[in-house]
Structure 1
Amino acid sequence: MLQTLSIRQFAIIDELDIEIKDGLTVLSGETGAGKSIIIDAISMLIGARASQNLVRHGENKAVIEGVFDIDDNPAVQSLLTEREIELDDYMLVKREIMKSGKSLCKVNNQTVTLTELKLIMQELLDIHGQHETQHLLKSKYHIRLLDEFSKGRYQAVFDDYTETFKVYQEKKEELRKLEQKDESLLQRLDLIKFQHNELIQAKLVPGEVSNLKEEIKRLQNFEKLNTELTKAVSYLSDENNIIDKMFDFNESLKEIDDVLTGEYSTLLEEANSVYYLLEDAKHRLYDELTSNEYDEHLLNEMESRMNMIQQLERKYGKGHDELISLITELEVEINQIENLEESTSNLKEEIKKQYERLMNAGTKLSKERRADASQLRSKILDEIHHLEMKSANFEIAFSKIQPNLSGIESIEFMISPNKGEPMKSLDKIASGGELSRIMLALKTIFAENRGQTAILFDEVDTGVSGRVAQKMAEKMKQIAAHIQVICISHLPQVAAISDHHLYIEKHEKDDRTVTTVTELTGEHKVREVARMISGVEVTPLTLDHAAELIAQNKEQYKG
């Protein structure tokens, strides 16, 4: 539930702190006093999109903060834990809206995205206003309401259907792509066959490019290599060569080491290593020299081979090893195209079988939904009858449709508001009062079902009066027994039955318009209810009427 609401520099609100309690809280006030602005501020806390126009004129940013009691809301606690947000019995939600248009969302002082804020708050608070009413009127929303009403009773059946549908769609998409491959596919086949043949004839071998580069470099530098090899060998094998001198040096070291009793043993070992290293180098260089031959024909062949590979790389935009992989890819595609007719036939058969599985799964889902639809219909009828639509009839209509992600049937709420009238869609209801009652009936059922701990009604009582208004007030009171209800209302019946009454008014201060909120009790509440009754002038008669209305409700709901 929402406990406190703090609004700073938001629209015409300068500074406003509101304490909101359990039960039914009513917000009333003259038209234009700022009631809708408070709703807009709360909307910011549940993830509504912000606009720089919401920042009070002359200020840099607007700040809205709400403290929510989440002690009895495990769903919200779980979402906070998943996001490693500090957990407590209370949750602080903060929204900052900058004049630049940017906004910042924080939950318990940890920054979250707007999407995350919406995800968390949808488990906590529901705002029902004109937009939500229009949303409920759409038939595509009704199937979601029915599934929500089931509380997951047929979730396994629904999951099986959706998985089957996804496979069905994938197979259909695969077929669509195959059938698109008509004449252009045959042209493609000619092209890739040519490419495949060209690459096969190239006889590409993994790793050959690096070998070719080495051999070409060797042959191109034959004379230089031969000269340097000859020099190197002569240094190690001519008269007075390094190796012979190294041998003599080692012999001298042996004598020195014998006389000095091992003092030069380490140096002697190192000198011997150098000697054998040079011996090994001499043999390797000699072998290299004797095997080093110049073959102009071989060089031409290698350079030609390298040019051919480079041309293929440029042509296909791929490296050497990628060209080798491309051969396999082309073979697969050639096989697919050449077997297109067979593939298409097999795929159509798969789709047919998958469609049968889909319809079986959809039939099971519809059966489950129809069972719960009967229960939901009875509950809705009870609610609208209580709201003085005693002759109304309500049905949940099922219609066969092409399978989609929701099922094989569409669902639409249908109503006949008066006896003798035909059933019609909710969006065909002309009376604002009837629509308000139907929406409240739905909210009564789903408010208890959703697990949320607060609901805000924004003038849900439009178009009703008298006995109907009293029934709607009682219905809001009934909902408030389960969750916190905040209601903006023009009805004296709703104000009179409320547990808490907040009065919104605006006035001028320092040449600026500001909005204030005052909790009304006692005579102040009586006077406001009287104003709501009279609409123009409060008289002793309307004051008596207001006092009686409040007293009757207090007596009815005491304890």
Structure 2
Amino acid sequence: MLQTLSIRQFAIIDELSIEIKDGLTVLSGETGAGKSIIIDAISMLIGARASQNLVRHGENKAVIEGVFDIDDNPNVRQLLEDKEIEQDDFMIVKREIMKTGKSICKINSQTVTLTELKQVMQELLDIHGQHETQHLLKSKYHIRLLDEFSGGRYQPTIDEYTAAFKIYQEKKEELRKLEQKDESLLQRLDLIKFQHNELTQAKLVAGEVNQLKDDINRLRNFEKLNNELTKTVSYLSDENNIIDKIFDFNESLKEIDEILKGQYTSLLEETSSVYYLLEDAKHRLYDELTSNEYDENLLNEMEARMNLIQQFERKYGKNHDELILLIAELETEINQIENLEESTSQLKKEIEDQYQAVLKIGSQLSKERRTDALELRNKILDEIHHLEMKSANFEIAFSKTEPTLAGLETIEFMISPNKGEPLKGLEKIASGGELSRIMLALKTIFAENRGQTAILFDEVDTGVSGRVAQKMAEKMKQIAEHIQVICISHLPQVAAISDHHLFIEKHERDDRTITTVTELTGDDKVKEVARMISGVEVTPLTLEHAAELISQNKD
């Protein structure tokens, strides 16, 4: 739930801090006082798009900060853990909007993207305003609402259907591509057959390029190598060679060591190892010298081979190892094209089999949806009947379609607001009061399922009054028993039943307009409810009526 909201330099708000408690909190005030601005500020915290016009005139940036209690919200905690954001029982969300139009989002002082902010906040807070109403009215969202209502009961079936439908789509796309390969495919076959033959005849071998480079380098430098080998062997084997001198040196050193009783034993060991090292080097270099031969024909063959490989690398734009892989790829494509008719026939059979699998799983999904749809329909009927639409009828209509990612049918919420009227889609409802009640009924049901801890109603009670207004107020109070409810309202019934009442008003100070928020209790609350009742002049009678309304709602 939202505990505190701080707003600085946002629209006409200079600086404002609001403490918001659990239960039902109502925000009221004169038109233009800044109620909608507070909603806009909260919208910034849940990831709404920012605009430089929201920054207070003359300031460089606006800052909105909210403190949320997440102690009992495992979904949010898991998201924070996944994003490696430090967490406590409280979460601080901050949004800075620059005069340039850029904005910075932070959760617990860690900068996050706007998408990440939305992912976290959708688990905490839901704002229901005009946009949300339009969203709920559209039939394309109704199937999603039904699935959400099920609480995951048939999610395994949805997952199974989705996987089967995606395979069906992939196979259909594969067939479409195959059927496009007609005359151009035959031309392609001639080309890749030539390429395959050319590369196959080259008999490319993995790793041969490095060996060719080494062998060519050796033969090209034969004379120089031979000279250096001859010199190094002579250093180690001529009449005055180093090895014999070190041998004589070691013999003398042995005598010295014996006389000095082991003082040169360590040195003798080191010089002896030098002797054996050079002796080994002499034999290796001698073997290298005797095996070093020059073969001009072999050199020409290897250079021709290297030129051939380099020509292919340039021609195909691939290195040696990639050319070897290309041979296998070409062979696979040749087989596919040559067996195109057989492949097409087999693929058509696989598509039909997969289509039947989609129908089978889709039928099961439809049965499970219809079971939950009946339960949802009855719950919605109960809610709208409670909201003084006692003659209304509500149905969830299923219409069969060709398979889609959503299933084998479309779903639309249908309503007949009055007895004798035909059922029609929600978006065809003309009455604002009826629409408000239907939206509140849906919110009442889905608020309990979504797992969110706060909901904000932005004038959801538009177009109602009297007994209907009282029923809507009671419904908001009922929702507030499960989650925190914040409501902007013009209805005295809603204000009277609220747990907390915040009054929004604007003043002029130093030739600037500022907005303030005051929590109303006692007589102040009675006066504001009376103002909401009368609209203009507060009389003793409206004060008495307001006090009675508050008292009745407490009872």
Range of TM-score over shorter length: over 0.9
Judge conservation of contact 1:226–1:289 (CA < 8 Å) in 2: yes
Q: Which amino acid aligns with 2:200?
A: I
**Partner of residue 50, structure 1:** 50
The whole-number CA distance in structure 1 between the counterparts of 2:379 and 2:286 is 103
The whole-number CA distance in structure 2 between the counterparts of 1:245 and 1:71 is 86
**Partner of residue 60, structure 2:** 60
**Partner of residue 542, structure 2:** 545
The reply on whether 1:555 has 2:552 as its aligned counterpart is yes
Gaps of 5+ in 2: none
Q: Deviations over 1:280-322 (max 9, x none)?
A: 4444444444443333222222211111111111112222222
1:193 to 1:555, Cα distance in 2 relative to 1, 3 A:
same
Q: Deviations over 1:378-420 (max 9, x none)?
A: 1212222222222222111001122222211111001122222
**Partner of residue 507, structure 2:** 507
Number of residue pairs aligned between Structure 1 and Structure 2 = 555
The reply on whether 1:469 has 2:466 as its aligned counterpart is no
1:284 to 1:146, Cα distance in 2 relative to 1, 3 A:
closer
**C-alpha RMSD of matched pairs (Å):** 2.5
The whole-number CA distance in structure 2 between the counterparts of 1:485 and 1:417 is 27
Larger CA deviation: 92-101 vs 130-139: 92-101
**Partner of residue 415, structure 1:** 415
Judge conservation of contact 1:13–1:514 (CA < 8 Å) in 2: yes
Q: Which amino acid aligns with 1:544?
A: L
**Partner of residue 316, structure 1:** 316
**Partner of residue 22, structure 2:** 22
Q: Which amino acid aligns with 1:554?
A: S
**Partner of residue 131, structure 2:** 131
Q: How does 1:204-215 map to 2 (within 5 A)?
A: 204-215=204-215
**Partner of residue 454, structure 1:** 454
Larger CA deviation: 365-374 vs 382-391: 382-391
1:285 to 1:551, Cα distance in 2 relative to 1, 3 A:
same
The whole-number CA distance in structure 1 between the counterparts of 2:77 and 2:289 is 81
Q: How does 1:216-255 map to 2 (within 5 A)?
A: 216-255=216-255
The whole-number CA distance in structure 1 between the counterparts of 2:285 and 2:86 is 74
Q: How does 1:323-472 map to 2 (within 5 A)?
A: 323-472=323-472
1:368 to 1:240, Cα distance in 2 relative to 1, 3 A:
closer
The whole-number CA distance in structure 2 between the counterparts of 1:317 and 1:518 is 74
Residue 337 of structure 1: how far off its partner (Å): 2.0
TM-score by length of 2: 0.92
Judge conservation of contact 1:533–1:546 (CA < 8 Å) in 2: no
Residue 221 of structure 1: how far off its partner (Å): 2.5
1:469 to 1:327, Cα distance in 2 relative to 1, 3 A:
same
The whole-number CA distance in structure 2 between the counterparts of 1:491 and 1:6 is 26
The whole-number CA distance in structure 2 between the counterparts of 1:532 and 1:288 is 107
1:124 to 1:210, Cα distance in 2 relative to 1, 3 A:
closer
Judge conservation of contact 1:497–1:550 (CA < 8 Å) in 2: no
**Secondary structure, counterpart of 2:503 in structure 1:** strand
The whole-number CA distance in structure 2 between the counterparts of 1:131 and 1:459 is 12
The whole-number CA distance in structure 1 between the counterparts of 2:231 and 2:248 is 22
1:272 to 1:25, Cα distance in 2 relative to 1, 3 A:
closer
Larger CA deviation: 397-406 vs 225-234: 225-234
**Partner of residue 103, structure 2:** 103
Residue 47 of structure 1: how far off its partner (Å): 2.0
Q: Deviations over 1:212-269 (max 9, x none)?
A: 2222223222333333334344444444444444554455445545555555555555
**Partner of residue 484, structure 2:** 484
1:245 to 1:25, Cα distance in 2 relative to 1, 3 A:
closer
1:80 to 1:389, Cα distance in 2 relative to 1, 3 A:
same
The whole-number CA distance in structure 2 between the counterparts of 1:5 and 1:224 is 84
The whole-number CA distance in structure 1 between the counterparts of 2:450 and 2:329 is 53
Q: How does 1:285-300 map to 2 (within 5 A)?
A: 285-300=285-300
Judge conservation of contact 2:527–2:546 (CA < 8 Å) in 1: no
Judge conservation of contact 1:493–1:549 (CA < 8 Å) in 2: no
Judge conservation of contact 2:530–2:546 (CA < 8 Å) in 1: no
**Secondary structure, counterpart of 2:508 in structure 1:** strand
1:335 to 1:513, Cα distance in 2 relative to 1, 3 A:
same
Q: Which amino acid aligns with 1:212?
A: L
Q: Which amino acid aligns with 1:162?
A: T
The whole-number CA distance in structure 1 between the counterparts of 2:89 and 2:237 is 92
Q: Deviations over 1:135-159 (max 9, x none)?
A: 0011111111111211222222222
Q: Which amino acid aligns with 1:115?
A: T
The whole-number CA distance in structure 2 between the counterparts of 1:507 and 1:286 is 104
Residue 437 of structure 1: how far off its partner (Å): 1.4
Residue 274 of structure 1: how far off its partner (Å): 4.2
Larger CA deviation: 73-82 vs 473-482: 73-82
TM-score by length of 1: 0.92
Residue 39 of structure 1: how far off its partner (Å): 0.4
1:265 to 1:407, Cα distance in 2 relative to 1, 3 A:
same
**Partner of residue 142, structure 1:** 142
